[in-house]
Amino acid sequence: MITKKELVLAAMDNKPTERVPVGFWFHFLADEIGTNAFRQPVYTEQLLAGEVEYIERAKPDFVKIMTDGFFPYENETVRHLHSAADFRNIRPLADDDPWFTQQIAYARRLTDRFGADLAMFYNLFCAATTIRFMQPDWTKGEAFLAEAIREDADSVRYGFDIISDDLAKLAKRLVTEAKVTGIYFGLQNILGKGMTKETYAAVAAPGEKKILAAANSVSAYHILHICGYAGHRNDLTWYTDYYVKTVNWAAVVEGIHLEKGRKLFGDRAVLGGFGNLDTDVLYKGSKEEVEAETKRILAQAGRQGVILGADCTVPRNTDWRRFDWVRDAAK
C-alpha cells in the first residue's frame, strides 16, 4: 500500500491514483498577520502545537505548513516604505539572519516528525504580498503598491528583486535544510489604476519566476496559489507561463472550475474546488450536501491530476470531520 506522500506526488505528476487526495488548511494563531514569531518565539510553539494536533487528529493527505507569525520580512530596510524611491534602499539579509534560520528550524521540526509519510509544503508569499502585510494597515497595501508602481516602476521592481532573492534563497534552504517537499507559493494580481498584465509582467513577475526557479532547482513538487482570499479577483492568464507542477486558485471566487482552469494551465495538476467561506457548503452544508458537492466537483474535473481542497484557508472553527466527508466521498 502506498503512503499518503506517494499518493499526493503521483497526483501532482498527473498519474492515475487509487483515490483522489484531499487537503485543507487554516490559521492557528488569532492574528496570523500582525503576530511576530521572530520576536516572540512563544508564537512559534503555539503554531507548532496547533499543526501537530491537526496532523495527528485530522490525518490529512498532505500538509500546507502554515506560517502564522512568520509573515513579517524582518528586514529594517523594508520597514519604512513610503514612496517608490524608498524601494531603492532595500538590501538583502545575511545568510545567518534569524528570518532564515528560525523558519528553517520551525519547518524542520515538522518534517522530522511527519515528513517520511506526508508531503509537506511550506507557505511562502511573493515580494508584493510580503510588502502588503508589512504596511500599518495591510488592507491598504495593494493601493500603496499600485501607486508606487505608477510613480516609479523601475524602483519598485528593484526592491521586488532584492526581496525575491531572499525568498528564492529561503525556498531552496527549506527544501535542502528543512526537508520540506516543496513550497506553496502565494501571489495575486496587483489591482489598481494602470495595473495591467504587461505592467505586472515587467515589475513583479521576474522576481516571482526567480523564486520558482530556485525552488524547482531542488525539488520538482511545488504548488502555485493564486490567492482569491476575501474575494480578490484575479486574471489567471497572468500566470500561465509560471512553471510549477500544481496550481491552486479560488475556483469559486473566480467562477473557474477545476477542469476549465486545468486546460488554461496546460493540463497541469490542480488543487482546490471548494469555497473557503463560512457561507460555503464545506463549512455549513450537511454531510449529504458536502458529499454531493465532492462528487459534483470530481464529475467536472475528473480524478487524475486532481487534489481536492479549497480556494484558500478555511475558517478556524471548521469541523474537521467535514474533511473526512470529502475524502470518503472522493474514494
pLDDT at 229: 87
CA–CA dist 265, 269 (Å, integer) = 9
pLDDT at 230: 82
- Is it the case that residue 118 has pLDDT exceeding 90? yes
- As a whole number of Å, the end-to-end CA separation of the chain is 15
State how far the Cα of 24 lies from the Cα of 170, in Å rounded to an integer: 24
Residues in the chain, total: 331
Choose which CATH entry (3.90.870.10, 2.30.110.10, 3.20.20.210, 3.40.190.10) describes domain 4-330: 3.20.20.210
Query: CA-CA distance, 11 to 19, in Å (whole number)?
Result: 9
For 115-126, the DSSP string reads TTTSEEEEEEE-
pTM over 0.85: yes
- Write out pLDDT tens, residues 132-173: 999 999 999 999 999 999 999 999 999 999 999 999 999 999
Rounded to whole angstroms, how far apart are CA atoms 168 and 187?
Answer: 14
Beta strands 246-249 and 119-125 are unpaired
pLDDT one-digit tens code per residue, 224-251 = 999 998 889 999 999 999 999 999 999 9
Residue 85: band (very low, low, confident or very high) from pLDDT cuts 50, 70, 90: very high
Region 187-214 average pLDDT: 97
- Write the DSSP symbol of residue 45: H
pLDDT (tens digit, 9 = 90+) per residue, 257-283? 999 999 999 999 999 999 999 999 999
